[in-house]
Structure 1
Amino acid sequence: MNTRVVVTGLGVCAPNGVGLYNFYDSLQSGASGITFHQELADLGFGCQIAGKPEISESLKESYFTPLQLKGLNSSGVVYGVMAGTDAWMDAGLGKANKDKPDWDSGIIFGTGILGIDKLRESIYLIDDNNTRRLGSNSVMQTMASGISAYLGGILGCGNQVTTNSSACATGTEGVIMGLERIRSGKAKKMLVGSCNDSGPYIWGGFDAMRILPSNYNDDPEEASRPMSATAAGFVPGSGAGALVLESLGSALDRGAKIYAEVLGGAVNSGGQRGAGSMTAPNSEAVQRCILDALSDAGIERSEVDVINGHLTATSKDAEEIKNWSEALKRSGKDFPFINSTKGMVGHCLAAAGSVECVASLLQYRAGVVFGNRNCQDIHPDILKLVDVSQIPRKTIAHRPKIIAKASFGFGDVNACIIFKEYKKR
Structure 2
Amino acid sequence: MTRKVVITGLGAFTPIGSDAPTTWENSLKGTSGVRKLTDEWVEKYELPVSIAAKAAAPAADFLSRVEMKRMDPSTQFAVIAAREAWKDSGIDTDAIDHDRFAVSFATGIGGVWTLLDGWDTLRERGPRRVMPMTVPMLMPNGPAAAVSLDLGARGSARTPVSACASGTEAMAQGLELIRQGKADVVVVGGAEAAIHPMPMASFAAMQALSKRNDEPERASRPYDIDRDGFVMGEGAGAIVLESEEHALARGARIYAELAGAGITSDAHHITAPDPEGLGATRALRAAMEDGGIVPTDVVHVNAHATSTPVGDVPEYTALKTALGDHLDDVWVSATKSQMGHLLGASGAVESVLTTLAVYHRKAPLTINLENQDPKIPLKVVTSPTDLPEGEIVALNNSFGFGGHNAVVAIRSYTK
TM tier, smaller: over 0.9
The code of the aligned residue for 1:161 comes to A
Give the distance between the partners of 2:69 and 2:94, measured in 1 at CA.
24
1:131 correspondence with 2:151: no
Q: Shift of the alpha carbon at 1:392?
A: 2.0
Give the distance between the partners of 1:301 and 1:154, measured in 2 at CA.
40
- Given candidates 198, 210, 213, the residue that maps to 1:213 is 210
Q: Shift of the alpha carbon at 1:198?
A: 2.9
Give the secondary structure class of the aligned counterpart of 2:368. Answer: coil
1:238 correspondence with 2:237: no
1:254 alignment partner in structure 2? 250
Give the secondary structure class of the aligned counterpart of 1:266. Answer: strand
2:281 alignment partner in structure 1? 287
2:387 alignment partner in structure 1? 398
2:82 alignment partner in structure 1? 84
Q: 1:317 to 1:331 in 2, by over 3 A?
A: farther
List aligned pairs for 1:163-174, cutoff 5 A.
163-174=159-170
The code of the aligned residue for 2:336 comes to K
2:68 alignment partner in structure 1? 69
2:408 alignment partner in structure 1? 417
2:372 alignment partner in structure 1? 378
Give the distance between the partners of 1:399 and 1:42, measured in 2 at CA.
51
Deviation string, structure 1 residues 312-350 (Cα, Å, up to 9, x no partner): 112221231122011111257x43111111010111111
- List gaps (5 residues or longer) in structure 1: none
Aligned length: 408
Q: Shift of the alpha carbon at 1:284?
A: 1.5
CA contact (8 A) 1:52 1:198 kept: no
Bigger Cα displacement from structure 2, 278-287 vs 409-418? 278-287
Q: Shift of the alpha carbon at 1:144?
A: 1.1
Q: Shift of the alpha carbon at 1:34?
A: 0.5
Give the distance between the partners of 2:334 and 2:29, measured in 1 at CA.
14
Give the distance between the partners of 1:230 and 1:395, measured in 2 at CA.
24
CA contact (8 A) 1:96 1:157 kept: no
1:330 alignment partner in structure 2? 325
- Given candidates 146, 149, 154, the residue that maps to 1:150 is 146
Q: Shift of the alpha carbon at 1:420?
A: 0.3
CA contact (8 A) 2:109 2:194 kept: no
CA contact (8 A) 1:96 1:156 kept: no
2:50 alignment partner in structure 1? 48
What TM-score results when the alignment is normalised by the length of structure 1? 0.91
List aligned pairs for 1:7-46, cutoff 5 A.
7-39=7-39, 40-46=42-48
What TM-score results when the alignment is normalised by the length of structure 2? 0.93
The code of the aligned residue for 1:50 comes to A
Give the distance between the partners of 1:185 and 1:18, measured in 2 at CA.
34
CA contact (8 A) 1:212 1:236 kept: yes
Give the secondary structure class of the aligned counterpart of 1:305. Answer: strand
Give the secondary structure class of the aligned counterpart of 2:57. Answer: coil
2:107 alignment partner in structure 1? 111
Q: Shift of the alpha carbon at 1:15?
A: 0.8
Give the distance between the partners of 2:152 and 2:207, measured in 1 at CA.
43
Give the distance between the partners of 2:124 and 2:16, measured in 1 at CA.
39
1:177 alignment partner in structure 2? 173
CA contact (8 A) 1:51 1:238 kept: yes
1:362 alignment partner in structure 2? 356
Deviation string, structure 1 residues 91-121 (Cα, Å, up to 9, x no partner): 1124459xx9811111000112222221122
The code of the aligned residue for 2:304 comes to H
CA contact (8 A) 1:117 1:201 kept: no
Give the distance between the partners of 2:210 and 2:125, measured in 1 at CA.
40
Give the secondary structure class of the aligned counterpart of 2:227. Answer: coil
Give the distance between the partners of 2:58 and 2:172, measured in 1 at CA.
33
After the TM superposition, list the runs of 4 or more consecutive aligned residues in structure 1 that deviate by more than 6 angstroms: none
Q: Shift of the alpha carbon at 1:155?
A: 0.7
1:161 correspondence with 2:157: yes
CA contact (8 A) 2:366 2:382 kept: yes
- Alignment RMSD, CA only? 1.9
CA contact (8 A) 2:358 2:410 kept: no
CA contact (8 A) 1:232 1:313 kept: yes
Deviation string, structure 1 residues 344-395 (Cα, Å, up to 9, x no partner): 0111111111111111111123221122111121111123xx4xxx212122
- List gaps (5 residues or longer) in structure 2: none
The code of the aligned residue for 2:160 comes to N
1:204 alignment partner in structure 2? 201
Give the distance between the partners of 1:212 and 1:170, measured in 2 at CA.
20
Identical pairs, percent: 31
Q: 1:91 to 1:277 in 2, by over 3 A?
A: same
CA contact (8 A) 1:325 1:335 kept: no
Give the secondary structure class of the aligned counterpart of 1:6. Answer: strand
Give the secondary structure class of the aligned counterpart of 1:289. Answer: helix
Give the distance between the partners of 1:123 and 1:42, measured in 2 at CA.
18
The code of the aligned residue for 2:98 comes to D
Deviation string, structure 1 residues 36-90 (Cα, Å, up to 9, x no partner): 10333442121211111033365133xx4x4333354x22111111111111111
CA contact (8 A) 1:278 1:410 kept: yes
Give the distance between the partners of 2:69 and 2:209, measured in 1 at CA.
35
